[in-house]
Structures are given as structure tokens and as C-alpha cells.
Amino acid sequence: MIVDERMVTFIHSLETENSEILETIEKEALDTYVPIIRKEMQSFLKVLLAIKKPKRILEVGTAVGFSAILMSEYAPEDVHITTIEKYEKRIPIAKENFVRAGKEDKITLIEGDAMEVLQSLEGSYDFIFMDAAKGQYIYYLPEVVRLLEKDGVFVTDNVLQDGDIIESRFAVERRNRTIHSRMRDYLYELKHHKVLETSIIPLGDGVALSTKVREE
């Protein structure tokens, strides 16, 4: 854990409830061990959406649709969200959840490999949220930057790996070393990218908040 557990518990105690459908989907996800964004990340997204007021959102990593529905509730009424998911078992659950939430007209789920889908997309997005396979972030980045409009906001979740990111690769379990190395490379690239300005925030499991300050 990056932040002291007592502090996280205190912050959680201040949170207000989400809509009934979000509360239901969150409980179902937790009961079936499906990872969804943490409470503090939910609040962070709500604030960013209120500030940016995006009309075209791209999400990389749908899972069961929780974060897409949350974004649809806190973005402007005329927002449209495109979300990408590869895991076949979760796709029908996400689609069902979009219908349950009455958001099927606002959210389009594209099935397939994220890299292939990203390469096929055209146009631009003013808000991109990435919460997918952590070891692939570094490879997705060029396509994300291409699709992000100038002054657009790009949010990457789970970038500090519960604090393991600061450890030597030899202190990390062997099966996690590749992800550990790629995430370090990803964060370096974000901080040194010629068209992005990025802040890395120890929120939840670590968040990178970027904006596109100029065209490539």
C-alpha cells in the first residue's frame, strides 16, 4: 500500500455513495474478485470530469463496465464513451451492465486486442482513461498520444504497483519482473515525452495524470 492504511480508511469514510446501479455493480465485482477502480480513484475521476467536461472519452480496459458507467454519469449529457475489452468472459457482463444502467446509447464497447483496436481508431478524444494490462502500457502509449487531442487529459491507473515500483527488480517476484521493468520505462517515457506534461500521484495504486501540451 502506498498511502497509510488508516489514512485511506479515513478518506473512504468521507465518501458519498454512488448511484444505486454503480453500488450494485461494485458489490457484484468485489464478490466475484473482479478488479475495479478504488474509491479514491473514483472521486479523482469525478473531479477531473467536472473540470474537463469531455465530450469524447476513450477507455482502454472495460472489465465489467463500472468505470465507463461512472464516467458516463459525471461527464456532460452529450458525452460518448468508447471502451475496449479483450477478455471474453467479461464482455457480456459489461454489455449487460450498460443496459442495466441505461447507458447503452452512450457507451460503445469494442471487442478485441487493445493495440489492434487503438491502431484502427480515427479522430481524437479529449479524455482517455487507461486501466488495462500493465505490462502493455508502454506499447499502447504512442497510439494513445496520437488519439489524444491537444489539451486533452490522459489518466493511467495502477502505475505504482502498490509501492513495488521503487524496489529493485531483484526484490520483486520473478513472475512480476517484466511488468515492473516495463512500468518503470512507461513512467520515464511519460515524464520525458515531448508532447505530454505528466504528474505521478500516489493515489490508490498510483495514478499518472497527463495532458497533451502540443501536437507532435
* Ranges of each domain in the chain: 5-212
Q: With contact defined as beta carbons under 8 Å apart, do 128 and 155 qualify? A: yes
Angle between helices 177-192 and 137-147 (to 10 degrees): 30
Q: Can you give the pLDDT at residue 216?
A: 79
**pTM as predicted:** 0.93
Tell me: the pLDDT tens digits for 107-134?
999 999 999 999 999 999 999 999 998 8
pLDDT averaged over every residue in the chain = 92
Q: Can you give the pLDDT at residue 181?
A: 79
* Residue 1 confidence class, pLDDT cut points 50, 70, 90: low
Mean pLDDT of 51-73: 98
CATH superfamily of the 5-212 domain:
Vaccinia Virus protein VP39 (3.40.50.150)
Given a cut of 70, whether residue 194 has pLDDT beyond it is yes
Q: What angle do CA 195, 38, 95 make, to 5 degrees?
A: 85
Q: What is the C-alpha separation between 34 and 27, in angstroms, rounded?
A: 10
Pick from 13, 28, 10, 15: nearest CA to 65: 28
* Residue 15 confidence class, pLDDT cut points 50, 70, 90: very high
Strand ordering across the sheet containing 148-157: 107-111, 80-85, 56-60, 125-130, 148-157, 207-212, 196-201
Mean pLDDT of 19-38: 95
Lowest-confidence range among 1-10, 11-20, 24-33, 119-128?
A: 1-10
Q: Can you give the pLDDT at residue 180?
A: 73
Burial class from Cβ neighbours inside 10 Å (0-12, 13-18, 19+) for residue 115 reads middle
Tell me: the pLDDT tens digits for 129-180?
999 988 899 999 999 999 999 999 999 998 987 656 666 665 566 666 677 7
The C-alpha cell that represents 95 in the structure block: 454489455
Q: Can you give the pLDDT at residue 174?
A: 64
Q: With contact defined as beta carbons under 8 Å apart, do 32 and 47 qualify? A: no
Mean pLDDT of 78-96: 97
